[in-house]
Structure 1
Amino acid sequence: MQAGTQPVFALIAGELSGDILGAGLIRALREHYPDARFIGVCGPQMQAEGGESLFPMERLSVMGITEVLPRLPELFRLRRQLVDTLIAEQPLAVIGIDSPDFTLSVAKRVHARGLRTVHYVSPSVWAWRQGRIKGIRASIDLMLTLLPFEARFYQEHDVPVAFVGHPLADMIPMTPDVAGARDLLGLPHDARVLAVLPGSRGGEVRQLLPDFLAAVRLLRADQPALHVVIPAATPDRHAEITAGLAAAGLTDIQLVDGQSRTVMAAADVVLMASGTATLEGLLLKKPMVIGYRLGGLTYAIASRLVKLDHVGLPNLLASQPRIPEFIQDAMNPEALAGAVQHWFDHPDDVAALKDDFEAVHVQLRRDASTHAAAAVKALVEGTL
Structure 2
Amino acid sequence: MTTKPLRIGMIAGEVSGDILAAALIKEIKSRHPDAIFEGIAGPRMQALGFNTLFEMEELSVFGLVEVLGRLPRLFKVKREVLAHFKQNPPDIFIGVDAPDFNIPIELNLKANGIKTVHYVSPSVWAWRQKRVFKIKKAVDMVLAFLPFEKAFYDEYDVPCRFIGHTMADAIPLEGADKQAAIAELKLDPKQRYVAILPGSRAGEVGLLSASFLETAILLKQRFSDLQFVVPMVNEQRKAQFLAIKQEVAPDLDVIVLDGHAREAMAVADAVLLASGTAALETMLMKRAMVVGYRVKPMTYKIMLRLMKAPFVSLPNLLANKEIVAERLQDDCQPEILADEMAKLLEADNAKLMAHFTELHKLIRCDADKQAADVVLELINDKNNARLKTGK
TM bucket by the smaller chain?
Answer: 0.7 to 0.9
Structure 2: how far apart are the matches of 1:223 and 1:210? 20
**Offset at 1:203?**
3.4
| Secondary structure in structure 2 of the residue aligned to 1:41 | strand
Q: Which residue of 2 aligns with 1:13?
A: 11
Q: Any gaps of 5 or more consecutive residues in structure 1?
A: none
Q: Which residue of 1 aligns with 2:102?
A: 103
Q: Any gaps of 5 or more consecutive residues in structure 2?
A: 62-66, 382-391
Q: Which residue of 2 aligns with 1:146?
A: 145
| Secondary structure in structure 2 of the residue aligned to 1:61 | helix
**Offset at 1:133?**
0.8
List per-residue Cα deviations over 1:351-372 (Å, max 9, x = no partner).
1111111122222222222111
Bigger mean CA deviation after superposition, 207-216 or 130-139: 207-216
Contact kept? 2:168, 2:360, Cα under 8 Å: yes
**Offset at 1:252?**
4.3
Q: Which residue of 1 aligns with 2:171?
A: 172
Q: Which residue of 1 aligns with 2:68?
A: 65
Q: Which residue of 2 aligns with 1:80?
A: 83
Q: Which amino acid aligns with 2:291?
A: I
**Offset at 1:321?**
2.0
**Offset at 1:22?**
4.1
Structure 1: how far apart are the matches of 2:341 and 2:14? 33
Task: Tell me if 1:222 matches 2:225.
Answer: no
Distance 1:82 1:60, change over 3 A: farther
Report matched runs for 1:222-301 at 5 Å.
222-248=222-248, 251-258=251-258, 259-301=260-302
Report matched runs for 1:227-376 at 5 Å.
227-248=227-248, 251-258=251-258, 259-318=260-319, 320-347=321-348, 350-376=349-375
Contact kept? 2:39, 2:81, Cα under 8 Å: no
Contact kept? 1:9, 1:94, Cα under 8 Å: no
What is the number of residues matched between the two proteins? 372
Distance 1:204 1:5, change over 3 A: closer
Structure 1: how far apart are the matches of 2:28 and 2:226? 49
Structure 2: how far apart are the matches of 1:81 and 1:189? 52
Distance 1:227 1:39, change over 3 A: closer
Q: Which amino acid aligns with 2:231?
A: P
Q: Which amino acid aligns with 2:53?
A: P
Structure 1: how far apart are the matches of 2:320 and 2:298? 33
Distance 1:60 1:100, change over 3 A: farther
**Offset at 1:249?**
5.1
Bigger mean CA deviation after superposition, 75-84 or 270-279: 75-84
Distance 1:57 1:149, change over 3 A: farther
Structure 1: how far apart are the matches of 2:158 and 2:325? 33
Seq. identity, %: 37
Q: Name the Cα RMSD after superposition.
A: 3.2
Contact kept? 2:78, 2:105, Cα under 8 Å: no
Contact kept? 1:145, 1:151, Cα under 8 Å: yes
**Offset at 1:170?**
2.6
Structure 2: how far apart are the matches of 1:371 and 1:235? 34
TM-score (norm. length: structure 1): 0.83
**Offset at 1:248?**
4.8
Distance 1:22 1:235, change over 3 A: closer
Structure 2: how far apart are the matches of 1:45 and 1:311? 27
Distance 1:105 1:179, change over 3 A: same
Structure 2: how far apart are the matches of 1:237 and 1:36? 35
Structure 2: how far apart are the matches of 1:22 and 1:280? 16
Distance 1:15 1:240, change over 3 A: closer
Structure 1: how far apart are the matches of 2:191 and 2:268? 9
| Secondary structure in structure 1 of the residue aligned to 2:130 | helix
Structure 2: how far apart are the matches of 1:60 and 1:293? 20
| Secondary structure in structure 1 of the residue aligned to 2:121 | coil
Contact kept? 2:193, 2:267, Cα under 8 Å: yes
Tell me which structure has the larger Cα radius of gyration.
Answer: 1
Distance 1:79 1:380, change over 3 A: closer
List per-residue Cα deviations over 1:213-251 (Å, max 9, x = no partner).
333333333322222222334444444444544555562
Contact kept? 2:40, 2:55, Cα under 8 Å: no
| Secondary structure in structure 2 of the residue aligned to 1:130 | coil
Q: Which residue of 2 aligns with 1:212?
A: 212
| Secondary structure in structure 2 of the residue aligned to 1:207 | helix
Q: Which amino acid aligns with 1:282?
A: M
Bigger mean CA deviation after superposition, 320-329 or 163-172: 163-172
Q: Which amino acid aligns with 1:12?
A: M
Bigger mean CA deviation after superposition, 13-22 or 99-108: 13-22
Report matched runs for 1:110-149 at 5 Å.
110-149=109-148
